A and B are shown apart, each in its own frame.
Chain A
Amino acid sequence: MSTQASAERADLAVVIGLEVHVQLETDTKIFCGCSTTAKEDEAPNSRTCPVCLGLPGALPAVNEAAVEAAVRVGKALDAEIAPETRFHRKNYFYPDLPKNFQISQYDAPICRDGSIEVSVEGERREVVIRRAHLEEDPGSIVHAGGSIDTADYTLVDYNRAGTPLMEIVTEPDFRSPDETRAFLAKLEEVLEYLSIFDGGRDGSLRIDANVSLVPATEVADDGTIDKETLAAANRTEVKNISSHKGAEKALAYEVTRQRNAIKRGRAIDQETRHWDESRGITVSMRAKEEEKDYRYFDEADIPPLQVADWRERLSIPELPDARRERFREEYGLDNEAAAKLTSTKQVADFYEDVAGEFDPGLAATWVADVLLGELNYRDMGVADVADRLGEVVTLIRLVDKEEITRKNAEEQVLRSMLDEGVDPETVIEREGLGTADEDEVVVAVREAIDANPGAVADYHDGEDGALNYLVGQVMGATGGTADPGTVNERLRATLAEANEG
């Protein structure tokens, strides 16, 4: 990079703000009793009713569980729960919404002024949450016979319409695509801890990002940028991002695109762009309505909510940061192990079960290194083996009781359990992996000594390697089922006797 290019690069600061749409895990939709659970291979339009189809005269009624979830999110984000919050109609005409408006919250969101702490390259940063509100998810559209631009006609399925969404809006606090990824990963982690979010569900997280570049000289020492500068910079809104990894890629692309345009002396158009994941680029979309075109007004069918006092009434579990800290103190874990073991609530709960029965250090090795390592290798997570964690505990118990060696447990039994779906006892029985009994070791030691007079002589001459060689012979003869420590002891004793005798 030339000096001039690096100077230009340094002259522009990245400004990103996010709007994150999160599907809340409830049993029913936000304004009607239709199920939110998509059955496998379900038929389109098989989970609808007059409310979510927008039929005339249908009356929406707010799902209490969705409001509770929103209050819990607010609490976890350290936000204020508004004393009074209400719903509004956001008017726009698009077939994913059969009513021609979306029930959302405009100027009275349920949560305001929160924050979340993230760690970016070891540095702790606070991201301010401007607001978080409830709204309904639209239905799903198929652009039949081509892409969005070339389709012949449109097909619509309203099964998803009315799924509760929470839209979480940040201040434009991000100074790099990296930071957005770290924030989104943290947000997902927190939401999963609250058990109101399932990251594995298709479409559970959808992200829109506002991206602009401002002169680096406008960034104050504390990283803030004044409102006029932000308002003056033309920004693009990037839509259709569906994961934290996708966010980093989409935003890195968009930042580079804007930087290149500015370098060539071109203005940035204020526009909406669509992230095309398969092509790895953002493309310009049709001109969107401006905010005033949504003609927001009160949703008269839904009375306001006064739920600020729910903040006290509803409890939330210990959150990842606090739990990480406690794991370090209570179980004496290092940072890396504590971070791995609190990555999801399920992993952390499982670790605490195991640490309650065995040595916390042994438990950490088993859960963080062995189990997560093997799962990761198979592109799986603890959630995929949730119903088999009891078998893993059985296996650890067998190792703890020295009924099987640790090496065999890790390298053979666990792998067979995961690959073949069989229980540990079955694998141990089938492969003959039970720890060699004492008689077996005695016989193997005797045979190794008889068969290797050279090594025995070397041992008596004080050669260090000789004993290891003999241990290896015994381990081989017992198929790796003997405990190396016991073999070592038994060999020394037998060799000592032989020397005296």
Chain B
Amino acid sequence: MTDYAVDEDEVRHVAALARLGLAEGEAAEFAGQFADILEYFEALDEVPEVDAEPELTNVLRPDEVDEGLTQEEALQNAPETEDGRFKGPRVS
């Protein structure tokens, strides 16, 4: 086991939360990749500080109905549908 910031157990845990199956050896592979990715982000430490832009507040929308999608449009990218609903594997 290496001392990566994101270790294999953490990769497995997050994969389980996301309901992803990992193949043999993938946890180790991804833990290594995470270390690389985090290293790239360290480049940000070199960036000089600038004044933050003032944050927006209270960006609100009036309570008025907009036209949305039709059922056909809503479902057009779904791999499977049934009776106008998105169809997927069983979940518990």
Contact = CB atoms under 8 A, between A and B. Distances in A.
A306 B58 contact: yes
B92 A28 contact: no
Contacts of A157: 84-86
A62 B57 CA distance: 11
Interface stretch (A142-150, A341-349, A468-476, A490-498): A142-150
A100 B68 CA distance: 21
B65 A303 contact: no
B85 A142 contact: yes
B65 A53 contact: no
Residue in A32, A44, A92, A94 with the greatest tally of chain B CB atoms within 10 Å: A44
Contact of B64 (A27, A67, A152): A27
Interface string B1-29: 00000000000000001110000000000
A61 interface: yes
B51 interface: no
A144 B88 CA distance: 10
B89 A153 contact: yes
Interface residues of A, number: 53
Contact of A44 (B56, B59, B85): B85
Given A63-B61, A306-B57, A93 B19 contact: yes
Contacts of B70: 46
A152 B84 contact: no
B62 to A, nearest CB: 6
Contacts of B74: 45-46, 48, 53, 158
A416 to B, nearest CB: 41
A424 B74 CA distance: 50
Given A44-B85, A93-B19, A305-B57, A28 B91 contact: no
Contact of B57 (A28, A149, A151, A303): A303
Residue in B19, B55, B85, B92 with the greatest tally of chain A CB atoms within 10 Å: B85
Contacts of B83: 44, 155
Interface in A86-143: 91-95, 100, 141-143
A45 B91 contact: no
Interface in B52-92: 55-66, 68-71, 74-75, 82-92
A156 interface: yes
B65 to A, nearest CB: 5
Interface residues of B, number: 32
A152 B19 CA distance: 18
A50 to B, nearest CB: 8
Interface string A319-338: 00000000000000000000
A93 to B, nearest CB: 5
Interface string A52-66: 010000000111111
Interface string A287-307: 001000100000000111111
A108 to B, nearest CB: 13
A91 B19 CA distance: 12
Given A33-B64, A148-B92, A43 B71 contact: yes
A286 B86 CA distance: 23
A436 interface: no
A293 B59 CA distance: 30
B90 A153 contact: yes
A153 B57 contact: no
B71 to A, nearest CB: 5
A152 B91 CA distance: 9
A153 B66 contact: no
Contact of B61 (A43, A64, A155): A64
A125 to B, nearest CB: 36
A73 to B, nearest CB: 16
A95 B69 contact: no
Interface of B: 17-19, 55-66, 68-71, 74-75, 82-92
20 contacts: A27-B65, A28-B66, A43-B71, A44-B83, A44-B84, A45-B74, A45-B86, A49-B66, A64-B60, A64-B61, A95-B86, A95-B88, A142-B85, A153-B89, A154-B87, A158-B74, A158-B86, A303-B58, A305-B57, A306-B58
Query: Which 8 A-B pairs give the minimum distances between C-beta atoms?
Result: A33-B66, A65-B63, A49-B68, A155-B85, A303-B56, A61-B61, A64-B60, A44-B84
Given A44-B83, A44-B85, A141-B91, 13 more contacts: A27-B63, A28-B64, A32-B66, A34-B68, A44-B71, A48-B68, A61-B60, A63-B63, A91-B17, A93-B17, A93-B19, A153-B87, A153-B89
